[in-house]
Amino acid sequence: MTLFSRAVAVLTTTAFLLASCGGGGGSSSTPTTPTTPSQTPVYAVPAQEALTVPDVEKILAQAVEEASARNKPATIAITDRVGNVLAVFQMNGAPGTLTIKTTNRAVTPTDVEGLVAPGAVAAAAIAKAITGAYLSSGGNAFSTRTASFIVQEHYPPGNNMLAAGPLFGVQFSQLPCSDFNRRYLVGGGPAAFIGPKRSPLGLAADPGGFPIYKNGVVVGGIGVMSDGLYSFDANVDDFDKDDDEIIATAGITGFEAPEAIRANNIQAVVQLRYSDVQSGDLRSTPTSARAFSALNGTAGSLISIRGYYAEGSTPSILAGTAYGTEASGIRKATAAERAAGTVIDNVDAFIFTDGSGNPRYPIRAGTDGADVASPLTAAEVKALLEEAFKVMSRARAQIRKPLDSPAQVTMTVVDTHGSILGQDRSPDGPIFGSDVSIQKARTATFFSGAHAAGDLLGNPSPDVQSFVGKVRTFLNDQTALTGKIAFADRSGGNLSRPFFPDGEEGRPNGPLSRPFNQWSPFSTGLQSALILTNLAEHLGFVLGASASDTRQRCTFAPDVAGKAQNRLQNGIQIFPGSVPIYRGNTLIGGLGVSGDGIDQDDMISFLGTHNAGLRVGGIGNAPTGIRADTIVVDVGSGVRLRYVNCPFAPFLDTSEQVVCDGK
């Protein structure tokens, strides 16, 4: 079935692991004296490097020469660090039809799994380039092969009884419908480069996408598609000779990630994977590649991509924007902004900006006064973000080199309507955590709230509606999803796995997942069902079949009463790193964290919320009696859901061990 026949049907029906944190008391009602944020920097600020037009030309030429030597005409995309598309080059004879498919086993086509999209190969190349750029930083370099390694049903992938990958579900982030990620502005101008940008297919797990580095600084990403198949590597016991990955390797010669920070040198319980390609696999000599001017128009040509690059104009190579500048949309907070209280008061804080010198998300009070008697105040939001930032600054990173580096993440506070009340980040946190931290905050708040069942049942998709009944049957509670239980992202993630308990093959799927014969990284369950229509609409727009793009808000859940927004504006996320925020027994928002190991993300959100409660009084984590870890599912001898997990001995400045116990 083609994309368009599937899309018509969709549109017609309108879709790491150590000490457990929990127990103890709820939030404290006795405030302590607020601590003064350290004004001694903890983090180094990345140098403001950027890809130049000659850089992009060289990378393209090197990739084209290798593709020619292999007789594998390819489509090659290059982006800067914040996702701006700088070039898309299509070689003569390159495949045009994109097939999204699991290849290692038979999967019943559901959601994105099995979609066939004529003309959409360039969209996949862009997604690969964005993935390499967004997952990487000055302390870690991750590729699309790394992404494949960490999003599958087992970690490491293979035939085992181990739990799912630590970033299970991250592929459905950076979505084209996200209200956070920016859209390409036709006509260009300075505002066109303010990031981060969306991805046409979310994040990619298909090998052939790498980060691009310049003088040791991540400045962008490359994505290559030469076969039209958009999949993932399910067999990590061998080393592939993947043409896309080899061509991309040739392209980034001279712009490689530093060896020490590549994923294969990073341990996240097991050693991660970066690339299966060695220099001896190349058939060309990249350093002897012809000038791009000799290849453009002969080996292929630059092409425009609607909604992403050169729309309405003759395609030309663009220079990248330097991360950390106002023009990139992410920069260091100024002393004046910190003093005014519009952002957190921490000398290391980076913020998102509107490109005109203003914070994109200045700290503000909750907007949900119609539903919450005492919404979050601006002072409480500031305390939540500052305390989480301080926990992050002390925490030992899981995925960064050198060892004993402090964690680097993005953190976001939302209210019960899903409105963003404040957001900040460390100087060098991976870009992907920006959109994901919002997804996590909204997800924890949504599933903990009284409107969850009603919003899902109000979705026009019968498939989405069906998940309410599945959860209620699975938990043996016909009132589930009505605000009685506090769900952290780890809790909802437990229910979103294709096996329950997580990883135990032969067990039935969790109620927010699909049965395993329908499950794949392209069909995860409720997560993918919620945004299927958005993806179909967007691809129709990119390919010229529709005059209008998908709206800038994901899911078709009912709007919040009186507002033109729903509670899941950029989709849901199903891997850990968020907690709901309570005032006594009343839900008032959520705090999401993303960018490091999942246990680090959990700890920063959990302890940040706890410490903010101690500091200002009146707010904190959910009371222990209503947390999801009070639920025991009747499977086998009984399986208890998890709330959050915190690392053992996680801090750089103390040997304290069980840091979340009793909170």
Query: What is the per-residue pLDDT across 413-439, written as a single tens digit (0 to 9) for each?
Result: 999 999 999 999 999 999 999 999 999
What's the chain's average pLDDT? Answer: 93
Q: Is the pLDDT of residue 29 over 60?
A: no
In this structure, are 38 and 62 located in the same domain? no
In this structure, are 406 and 291 located in the same domain? no
In this structure, are 578 and 662 located in the same domain? yes
Please indicate, yes or no, if residue 288 is contained in any of the structural domains. Answer: yes
CB 119 within 8 A of CB 261: no
CATH number at residue 551: 3.30.450.150
DSSP 322: P
CB 418 within 8 A of CB 402: no
Number of domains the chain is built from: 2
Please indicate, yes or no, if residue 330 is contained in any of the structural domains. Answer: no
Q: Which domain holds residue 361?
A: 1-45+335-663
What single string gives the DSSP state of each residue in 225-259?
A: ESSSEE-----TTS----HHHHHHHHHTTTSPPPG
Domain-terminating residue out of 321, 353, 374:
321
d(CA 128, CA 405): 28
The pLDDT assigned to 38 comes to: 54
In this structure, are 142 and 175 located in the same domain? yes
Please indicate, yes or no, if residue 545 is contained in any of the structural domains. Answer: yes
In this structure, are 13 and 89 located in the same domain? no
Query: What is the per-residue pLDDT across 201-259, written as a single tens digit (0 to 9) for each?
Result: 999 999 999 999 999 999 999 999 999 999 999 999 999 999 999 999 999 999 999 99
Domain-terminating residue out of 321, 343, 359:
321
Contacting residues for 570 by C-beta, under 8 A, at least 6 apart = 173, 175, 177, 178, 179, 180, 181, 435, 438, 439, 442, 553, 554
Q: Is the pLDDT of residue 28 over 90?
A: no
Of 560, 317, 306, the residue nearest 446 (C-alpha): 560
CB contact burial 62-71 (16+ within 10 A = b; e otherwise): bbbbbbbebe
In this structure, are 281 and 187 located in the same domain? yes
In this structure, are 394 and 480 located in the same domain? yes
Please indicate, yes or no, if residue 329 is contained in any of the structural domains. Answer: no
Domain-terminating residue out of 321, 343, 367:
321
Q: Is the pLDDT of residue 2 over 50?
A: no
Please indicate, yes or no, if residue 102 is contained in any of the structural domains. Answer: yes
Read off the pLDDT of each residue in 99-125 and give the average, rounded to a whole number.
97
Q: Is the pLDDT of residue 313 over 70?
A: yes
Read off the pLDDT of each residue in 571-584 and give the average, rounded to a whole number.
98
In this structure, are 312 and 372 located in the same domain? no
Is-above-0.85 flag for pTM?
yes
In this structure, are 28 and 65 located in the same domain? no
Please indicate, yes or no, if residue 328 is contained in any of the structural domains. Answer: no
Please indicate, yes or no, if residue 350 is contained in any of the structural domains. Answer: yes
In this prediction, residue 190 has a pLDDT band, given cuts at 50, 70 and 90, of confident
In this prediction, residue 6 has a pLDDT band, given cuts at 50, 70 and 90, of very low
In this structure, are 19 and 62 located in the same domain? no
Please indicate, yes or no, if residue 604 is contained in any of the structural domains. Answer: yes
In this structure, are 556 and 628 located in the same domain? yes
